[in-house]
Amino acid sequence: MMTKRFVALLVMAVVSAVSLPSCTPEPTDNKPPLGSIPLQGAGATFPAPLYKSWIETSQTSHPEVLLSYEVIGSGEGTQRFLAGTVDFGASDAALSDEEIAMVDRGVQLVPVTAGSLVLAYNLPGLGGDLRLKRDVYVDIFLGKITQWNDPRMVATNPGLNLPSTDIAVVARSDSSGTTFAFTNHLSAISDVWRDRGPGAVRLADWPGGTMLAPGNEGVAGRIQQSIGAIGYVQYGIAQRAGLAMAWLENRAGQFIQPHGGSGLAALINTPMPENLRVFFPDPEGEDSYPIATYSWLLLYKNYDDASKRDALKRYVKWCLTEGQAFNESLGYLRLPPRVVTLALAAVDQL
């Protein structure tokens, strides 16, 4: 006969046996290990704050992808992409037909954001918003207007306390898509700039005395530090730096304040072609801000590593859809719906 103690021990043994972890491996979801799919990009400083937010948010959902972006300027990013030393590049100047022909794997340009370029300045005590006519800001960057109280400036800004301070022009020292967008605009509105000046270039030969700094952040920082300075900077970066921004005369002869709505008007008034490469150096429209640009990711049409290709496609498609919600708060422009549709179709072809 079994004693009560023996029965209790038997029950405990059975319960323990049931509770022991199984030696059979648990089924897995076959997800790759953390950080096992590295994706390396490099390029433009213009969209860098937006890219930083995109990468941080995207990687929380896909920790298996180790996504990095080196902020080195469009020029250097383009060179690394052409050399095949990165998985993707980024540029505000896209690529020329000649550059595309250099890549055996094929190239797909994908616009993922856009933004306005502003002329930010440092003039304490001005007493109002500075307005600049087209011919005036061309001549400032040509070195022909050298003082803030130049008669042409005063005529457009009656009532402002324009000082006799020398104008300190700040420009990019590195090869830059931002510089290309700005000089492409100046070439469109000035025969002198186009034919006898620097032209539309990524790296300009600026007049003597121009202060140079690398990247959009570098230009913004130099303007902050220099009384009398003026330079070209992406709108959101200038906004976060607390810089004053000039109202610029557009093609219709209107002085336009830089903000999201005026930049978006420039995009909407410029149709996107099938190859997804378009510039609008002097956009039409009464309300269009005069200097805006798309910013592109440079992708290969063929990737040897299918896991990299799939991860990159998923990331770029997220940027084109959910990621667009980040644009406005960081000072960038949402892409028009037709542009998003064309870009998504292009990504599907990789």
CATH code of the domain containing 42: 3.40.190.10
Domain span holding position 74:
37-115+292-348
The domain boundary, picked from 216, 244, 264, lies at 264
Give the model's pLDDT for residue 268.
87
- Based on DSSP, count helices (H) and strands (E) in the chain, helices before strands: 13, 12
The closest alpha carbon to 112, from 80, 69, 151, belongs to 69
Q: Give residue 211's Cα distance to chain centre.
A: 23
Q: pTM to 2 decimals?
A: 0.88
Low-confidence ranges of the chain (pLDDT < 70): 1-32, 34-35
Q: How far apart are the C-alpha atoms of 223 and 242, rounded to whole Å? A: 11
* 209-244 pLDDT tens trace: 999 999 999 999 999 999 999 999 999 999 999 999
The answer on 175 and 72 residing in a single domain is: no
Q: Say how far apart CA 205 and CA 187 lie, in whole Å.
A: 14
What total number of domains does the chain contain? 2
Domain-embedded: residue 217: yes
Q: Does 286 fall in a domain?
A: no
pLDDT computed for residue 48 by the predictor: 96
Could you tell me the maximum CA-CA distance found in the chain, to the nearest angstrom?
A: 117
- Cα(278)–Cα(287) distance, integer angstroms: 20
Position 28 in a domain: no
Q: Is residue 51 part of a domain?
A: yes
Given a contact cutoff of 8 angstroms between Cβ atoms, the answer to whether 170 and 229 are in contact is yes
Show which of 247, 264, 281 is a domain's final residue: 264
Residues 72 and 129 in one domain: no
For residues 43 and 131, membership in a common domain is answered with no
Structural domain includes residue 6: no
**154: which 2 tokens?**
């005063």
Query: Is the Cβ–Cβ distance between 67 and 315 less than 8 Å?
Result: yes
Residue 112: φ, ψ to 5°: -120, -15
Q: Which of 320, 315, 317, 318 is nearest to 337 (CA)?
A: 320
Helix (H) or strand (E) holding 139: helix 134-141
